[in-house]
Amino acid sequence: MILATWNINSVRLRLPLVEKFCLEHKPDVLCLQETKCRDAEFPSSDFRRLGYEHLAINGQKGYHGVCIASRLPIEKTVARPFCGMGDSRHVAVTLGAAAGFENPVTIHNFYVPAGGDEPDVAINPKFVHKLAFLDEMASWMKADGVADGLSAVVGDLNIAPLETDVWNHKALLKIVSHTPIEVEKLAAVAAAGPWTDAVRLRVDPAVKLFSWWSYRSADWSNADKGRRLDHIWTSRDLAKNVVGVEVVRAARGWERPSDHVPVLATFNFDV
């Protein structure tokens, strides 16, 4: 199974890029964030034309929104609200016997709040929301045993946890997405599973690796001031099935791109 996550930054605007990606990389399950449309406006027919007959959508008008598009039959869909905000930031599916799995596989797709510009809870309510969202994720995952069995958490988690997940660790210590308090709270979410960082399982943590480059950088590739904000985590039971990962850096250079690129993990269930 190939599992992909991508903050698409408007699914309707970038539908040609989704098609290009799906034709080239053929993910079995594609998790999108920032779809930015209500459920009824989601381009379902276009996804079905590409072979993704099974859709789990949690959208809202103009903001946020998440979707899981699957070639494999979906057994169960759940969308959980967080922080009482009414935002569409989570959807989960379970793939079971109809998808060919002896033991069910559950995939959680998240879009964690970005947190605004100032990492100061005294003046920035968006940062307060982000920290509260992470706290609620950790509490829920621990209480409900979300990482039991074969489970994955994917999505735009909006935090680059490692020094090698940003272009300059010292320069970004006071920049939202890499501040110590965010890194600490994301670590608490990971420990609540516990979850395994599937990408760093296959890519040496000493190697710099990014999945996001700002639109503000005209020469993004040469400047390479990126951050790894997009993640694929697995439960302990699923980690052993990870046989490959890929960050599709080239997608940042496509016409009218998202500022994020797809991240993929390949699983072998015969091991």
For residue 164, pLDDT over 90 is answered with yes
Average pLDDT over residues 104-118: 98
pLDDT(267) > 80: yes
pLDDT exceeds 90 at position 209: yes
Element (H, E) at 21: helix 15-25
Short-list 33, 69, 39, 35, CA closest to 54: 69
**For the residues 22-39, what does the mean pLDDT come to?**
98
Specify the pLDDT at position 218.
83
At residue 270, the pLDDT reads 83
For range 85-106, the mean pLDDT = 96
Q: Is the dihedral of CA 16, 244, 28, 240 positive or negative?
A: negative
d(CA 46, CA 61): 19
3-state secondary structure of 247: strand
Q: For 50-63, what is each residue's pLDDT tens digit?
A: 999 999 999 999 99
Segment 55-77 mean pLDDT: 97
Q: Which domain holds residue 14?
A: 2-267
Can you give the C-alpha Rg of the chain in angstroms? Answer: 17
The pTM is what?
0.97
Per-residue pLDDT band for 271 (boundaries 50, 70, 90) equals low
**Is the model's pLDDT at 125 over the cut of 70?**
yes
| pLDDT, the chain, mean | 97
The number of folded domains in the chain is 1
Residue 27 has pLDDT above 80, yes or no: yes
Give the CATH number for residue 95: 3.60.10.10
Contact 185, 131 (CB under 8 A): yes
Please give the torsion angle defined by the CA atoms of residues 212, 25, 197 and 173, in that order, rounded to the nearest 10 degrees. Answer: -10
Q: What percent of the chain stands above pLDDT 70?
A: 100
- Tell me: pLDDT of 217 over 90: no
Sheet holding 242-247: strands in order across? 54-58, 66-70, 29-33, 2-7, 263-267, 242-247
